[in-house]
Chains A and B, each alone.
Chain A
């Protein structure tokens, strides 16, 4: 009889291939009949297998370590001298790099100083213009917080009876697998309730974890603690961009209830009014795309769309991803945020990248 009390023994014999055919059959019958028993058996087998691999790994580690210790087997003469010579050059370089860094810092500070003087003069001349622009960018930014009801009505679509009628819409994307989402501050700032629409169409409630009006960022968390976006890790990472001007980028977002893809390039390394924390992109973006992630061709998120130039089409502004990273860093350790580190989108075709990415970009509805 196979019971909970002797399941360990059966599991071990199984792993060691010590069961006869009849015994194996008997065990399988018992396991099929009792799922609880099966679970205990499986768990024991897992532990035993883990013991095995741990032992194997230890063996190979010991082997490697003993080879390492026995330099006679592999060290070349130059190797023996290496330790002495490599340490000193490192220190030498430290001094020169420190000097170079100081010089660069000094020259960049002076340049900035002069540049600032120049820029402010230009500012004064075009002062009113700039103000106008600011006003329009604010207006366009608020337009970007789309009115869903209005859009739906205009297109003559039947409006879904949703008991929680949303008034504004934006976009957000997952930054961890367990429910943290990044979006724009202006999308959620006056929200009473925030809903995130997942890929199966469900609207999940979310709350604001932190907001940063200066960079127009906000981080949300799903209220459902057990919800996971996917089985493994997120397939993209958040990166400081490797290249700047001219970098080809793409985005996916929700200017309507369906996900929309756009692509473009970085047209200016600074954003609106010389904002050094945003990019200017040449890419179509429409109301509703606030908070959409901007990815480079390697599949790393490099920016978040915040607004667009209202008197042109195609000039979009997006805040740098390092502002997002800084914001995440400022969260307490208890938030336990582990950002995606590896990037699985790297070598894929664009259509593949989008296909993988779209599960993690959500329509955010706010009322």
Chain B
């Protein structure tokens, strides 16, 4: 699955989707929530699987369940806006072991969030230029044509200028957020 193999993803879906969805539905979730949680859990699993040291000591199902339940609780807590542990069979406590993974996942999410906010602040044409290069993975030639630069070299210079601006915005914002 680490290699982004489509069959692997399909297999996981086949095995666990119905059980997990049922579980969330019985706890007051909507189908859409169940879908979101399941997919997010898969993302966490995938990113963990990329780590060369990752070697599941427990069954895949246990990991998936634990991560999904944790994600679901976080979602439910935010919705209900009050802090309460579920009255599970005391099962909540076990999930502490995957907290680090989830925390890493969440920190990454936050980083992405901050980055996209900084990108918005950047404005045009920088925002689209950087997106085209780093997200859509276009090459300099294509970008030069798209953005009507004289040649690829010019486009490259522009890109670096935008990157510098982004860096300044991003890191002053980050400093503000922390204090």
| A residues lining the B interface (CB < 8 Å) | 6-9, 12, 40, 43-44, 47-48, 50-55, 57-61, 63-65, 67-68, 73-76, 78-79, 82-83, 86-87, 90, 225-226, 233, 238-240, 242, 298, 325, 329, 339, 341-344, 346-347
CA distance A40 to B135 in the complex (A): 22
- Number of interchain pairs (Cβ within 8 Å): 128
Stretch at the interface among B8-16, B56-64, B143-151: B8-16
Enumerate the 4 nearest inter-chain pairs by beta-carbon distance, A residue then B residue, closest first: A346-B96, A74-B13, A74-B14, A51-B134
Which among B14, B82, B93 has the highest number of chain A CB atoms within 10 Å? B93
With A47-B170, A344-B96 as contacts: A67 and B85 at CB distance below 8 Å: no
CA distance A86 to B21 in the complex (A): 10
Q: In the complex the two chains form, is A61's CB within 8 Å of B39's CB? A: yes
Shortest beta-carbon distance from A213 to chain B in Å: 23
Q: In the complex the two chains form, is B82's CB within 8 Å of A329's CB? A: yes
Q: In the complex the two chains form, is B42's CB within 8 Å of A64's CB? A: yes
With A54-B135, A64-B9 as contacts: A43 and B167 at CB distance below 8 Å: yes
A8: contacting residue among B82, B108, B164, CB under 8 A:
B164
With A57-B43, A68-B13, A82-B18 as contacts: A346 and B93 at CB distance below 8 Å: yes
Q: In the complex the two chains form, is B25's CB within 8 Å of A90's CB? A: yes
Contact with A along B25-44 (1 / 0, CB 8 A): 11000010001000100110
Q: In the complex the two chains form, is A50's CB within 8 Å of B42's CB? A: no
Q: In the complex the two chains form, is B25's CB within 8 Å of A47's CB? A: no
Q: In the complex the two chains form, is A8's CB within 8 Å of B85's CB? A: no
Q: Does B163 contact A (CB under 8 A)?
A: yes
A64: contacting residue among B43, B102, B164, CB under 8 A:
B43
Q: In the complex the two chains form, is B99's CB within 8 Å of A344's CB? A: yes
Shortest beta-carbon distance from A101 to chain B in Å: 14
A347: contacting residue among B17, B46, B97, CB under 8 A:
B97
Q: In the complex the two chains form, is A55's CB within 8 Å of B135's CB? A: yes
With A59-B4, A78-B18, A83-B31 as contacts: A9 and B160 at CB distance below 8 Å: yes
Shortest beta-carbon distance from B133 to chain A in Å: 9
Given contacts A7-B164, A52-B134, A67-B9, 18 further A-B contacts (CB under 8 A): A9-B160, A12-B160, A44-B164, A47-B163, A47-B166, A51-B135, A54-B135, A67-B6, A67-B13, A68-B35, A68-B39, A73-B10, A73-B14, A75-B17, A83-B31, A90-B26, A239-B83, A339-B83
Contact with A along B60-79 (1 / 0, CB 8 A): 00000000000000100000
Shortest beta-carbon distance from B33 to chain A in Å: 13
Shortest beta-carbon distance from B153 to chain A in Å: 12
| B residues lining the A interface (CB < 8 Å) | 4, 6, 9-11, 13-14, 17-18, 21-22, 25-26, 31, 35, 39, 42-43, 46-47, 74, 82-85, 90, 92-93, 96-97, 99, 102-103, 108, 111-112, 115, 130, 134-135, 137, 160-161, 163-164, 166-167, 170-171, 179
Q: In the complex the two chains form, is A47's CB within 8 Å of B85's CB? A: no
Contacts of B22 in A (CB 8 A): 82, 86
Contacts of A240 in B (CB 8 A): 84-85
**Shortest Cβ distance from B165 into A: residue:** A8
Contacts of B167 in A (CB 8 A): 8, 40, 43-44, 47
A242: contacting residue among B11, B85, B102, CB under 8 A:
B85
Contacts of B82 in A (CB 8 A): 325, 329
**Shortest Cβ distance from A233 into B: residue:** B103
Shortest beta-carbon distance from A141 to chain B in Å: 28
Contacts of B170 in A (CB 8 A): 43, 47
Which among A7, A59, A74 has the highest number of chain B CB atoms within 10 Å? A74
CA distance A50 to B167 in the complex (A): 12
Shortest beta-carbon distance from A229 to chain B in Å: 15
Contacts of B43 in A (CB 8 A): 57, 60-61, 64
CA distance A9 to B92 in the complex (A): 48
Contacts of A65 in B (CB 8 A): 39
Q: In the complex the two chains form, is B39's CB within 8 Å of A64's CB? A: yes
CA distance A329 to B83 in the complex (A): 9
CA distance A9 to B11 in the complex (A): 43
Which among B11, B42, B161, B163 has the highest number of chain A CB atoms within 10 Å? B163
Shortest beta-carbon distance from B13 to chain A in Å: 4
Shortest beta-carbon distance from A162 to chain B in Å: 31
Shortest beta-carbon distance from A41 to chain B in Å: 10
CA distance A53 to B134 in the complex (A): 10
Shortest beta-carbon distance from A223 to chain B in Å: 15
Which among B4, B135, B166, B167 has the highest number of chain A CB atoms within 10 Å? B167
CA distance A1 to B83 in the complex (A): 56
23 A-B interface contacts by CB (under 8 A):
A44-B164, A47-B115, A48-B163, A51-B115, A53-B108, A54-B112, A57-B47, A59-B4, A60-B47, A64-B39, A67-B6, A67-B9, A67-B13, A68-B35, A68-B39, A73-B14, A74-B10, A76-B14, A82-B21, A233-B103, A239-B85, A242-B90, A342-B102
